[in-house]
Amino acid sequence: MATLNVHNRSGEVLHEKELSDSFTHAEVNTDVIHQCVVAYLANQRTGTASTKSRSEVRGSGKKLYRQKGTGRARVGDARSPIRVSGGVAFGPKPRSYRQNTPKQVRRLGLKCAIADRFQNEQCVLIEDFTLERPRTKEIVSLLDALNLEGKVLFVLDEHNPNIFLSLRNIPKVNSCTWDTLNIYQVLWHDKLVITERASEKLEAKFADLEGEHDEG
């Protein structure tokens, strides 16, 4: 069992929490992580880039001048791709870049990414907290108390509008709930701040994954 300190909003250690080694010290499979990240980024692409072919460009289809006798190269109409303002040959058309990654692979990739953050001491556990009203100053004080700089992701056990509104004005500081966390968020941020209850839910989620592998 891995033992981690749980901090309060003043940065003080409240108590220690034990998390299973299968959650915090799981084997990091870089190949699976790479596959998941590539698929995630591909799925963000809209694929709406489009160009006009020679059949779609406005203009006459008449041959510009006769084939022979001019001393010039033979030429077609003004919509030819080799002419200015002509159509585009083999240009992009709307398409889907989506990559279908199996659910178990996505979950394994997320588990490996979180385990990597734990093993590199880039995860901080804090007590479950709420804010009565949006107040960015309190989140800034919390970050200072925990000595956190750079890109920070708060992983909450449930959506809290006041926390979301409090930290959205802080550059490179974001939040999400434990069930919407994805691998790209984990890797993009330098530090993860996970609430105690969110860590328990994530641990239970990946314990189920471990059980599915054992059955297989």
First to last CA, the chain: 25
What fold characterizes domain 2-45+99-215? Ribosomal Protein L4; Chain: A; (3.40.1370)
Residues of the chain with pLDDT under 50: 214-216
Report pLDDT digits (tens) over 69-100: 999 998 899 999 999 999 999 999 999 999 99
* Conformational region of residue 185, where left means phi above 0, alpha means psi within -120 to 50, and beta covers everything else: alpha
**Beta-sheet strands, E only, within 10-141:** 13-19, 123-126
The DSSP letter of residue 57 is S
The confidence score (pLDDT) of residue 216 equals: 47
**CB contact at 8 A, 131 and 162:** yes
Task: Please classify residue 114 by burial: count the beta carbons closer than 10 Å to its beta carbon, then call 0-12 exposed, 13-18 middle and 19+ buried.
Answer: buried
The confidence score (pLDDT) of residue 104 equals: 94
**CB contact at 8 A, 83 and 59:** no
Report how far residue 150's alpha carbon sits from residue 54's, in angstroms, rounded to the nearest whole number. 50
Share of the chain above pLDDT 70, in %: 96
**CB contact at 8 A, 114 and 44:** no
> Domain coordinates of the chain in residue numbers?
2-45+99-215, 47-96
Query: DSSP letter string over 179-191?
Result: TT--HHHHHHSSE
Task: Please classify residue 27 by burial: count the beta carbons closer than 10 Å to its beta carbon, then call 0-12 exposed, 13-18 middle and 19+ buried.
Answer: exposed
Report how far residue 171's alpha carbon sits from residue 167's, in angstroms, rounded to the nearest whole number. 8
Model confidence, pTM: 0.82
